[in-house]
Structure 1
Amino acid sequence: MTAADDPAGHGRLLAGTAWVVLLLGLWVWGRDLTDGSGAGSAPIAGDIAAVGRPLGIPLPPPHDPIEGAAPRRIEVPSIGVDAPVVARGLDEDGAIDPPPFDAPRTVGWYGNGTEPGAKGPALFVGHVDTETRPAVFYGLSAARPGAKVEVTRTDGTVAEFTVDDVQVLTRERFNADKAYGPRRKGRAELRLITCGGTYDRASRSYDANVVVSAYLTGERPKGNGGS
């Protein structure tokens, strides 16, 4: 049975993502942003800057922002992510709709916000798991500074990003500006967000979120190999 057929699986996905997409939706709305048991042990416990940026990791210089275009696919080779992207909006409660329950291997992008490659943070959310199996961002907590993120866009180009920060934000110390705001003004950035921390069976939810930050470091036509 798949998660799409399993009501319990639906509940796990909803509980596991509802609080983060709600916080994200309310922050976006307020700022008017325009510029199981688990299938394993990938969700990690921790606090702000649980991973962060280790000293001595050389990172490439940022690329100037480029003309924005909607994303079609996202790849993070170091953690095995290669997934289609769907635009998501806000629901009647002001929350960003997560990816569909019947598509746990799909990534959601806030379509009314920044397009990847343009100046500002483009926001992506994905499920960490279902009641029975890993979902698209199951390995997100294993991402490390220096990892590459490639976003295939509707204009036929691939925007290349480099991870510069990985954080685990607990509910108690959650800071929406820290999670979703620009890390450096003027850069093209993205955020990859999923559930993390400890899964609580009683509330059927996680107590933290993994937030991966990356910034634009290149652009190429689709089909050309990266450097």
Structure 2
Amino acid sequence: MLAGCAAAGVAAASCSATGSLPRSDAGGARTRAVHLVARAWHTDVDLPADRLPPALLPLAQDFPGATHFLFGFGERAYWTKPEPSSTDALAALIPGPGVILVTALRAPPPAAFPPKDVVVLPVAEEGLDRLGAFLKAELREDGEFRRMADGPYPGSRFYATSRRYSAAYTCNTWVADALHVAGTGVAPAGILFAGQLMRRARAAADAAGRQPALARTPLAPAHRAVP
């Protein structure tokens, strides 16, 4: 089944909620990186643990020893069910509450996932600050930081969000917005599916001249998630 992007296999009109996003210009030398990770039809974006804003430091307390955190968005009722049905997947097409899955890693994503599933995107320090601010705002429901159920992977957990999921605003749209905020050069308009986002991100990485050859990217066992 689809991981968090319940509507990814269904055609829908494209709509990206980017109108209120922060500025995304790099504003400095791109000396850091964020990572786009594909998990089948779903995508995640990472933030280094040393760049968590103060409001998200509870994540470091929830997962001691983590060096990176992956963030993904999905439909709440569908994604948090241990065994969602096809009826649940169809219901997820209707706009409804979203949820954010956080997965803690003890290694950078290129060392934890197959090379084909990771895109390295250079950003400025200011871009990490903007990404952290975006994630801080998204991991809130009614102004509160709220833990929910354990996630489907070792070292993962669901957290509440006020963001609503729909067939026109999927997990991949949300990640595209996050990458745009960070100043990666990835344009979010029209993104619904993981393949679209991965292709656009690879093009942005190639344009920046910082995407390493996939064959030279180390591969580590499993996801190195924090137990």
TM-score, structure 2 normalization: 0.28
- Structure possessing the higher relative contact order (Cα contacts under 8 Å, 6 or more residues apart): 2
Q: Which has the higher helix share?
A: 2
Q: Which has the higher strand share?
A: 1
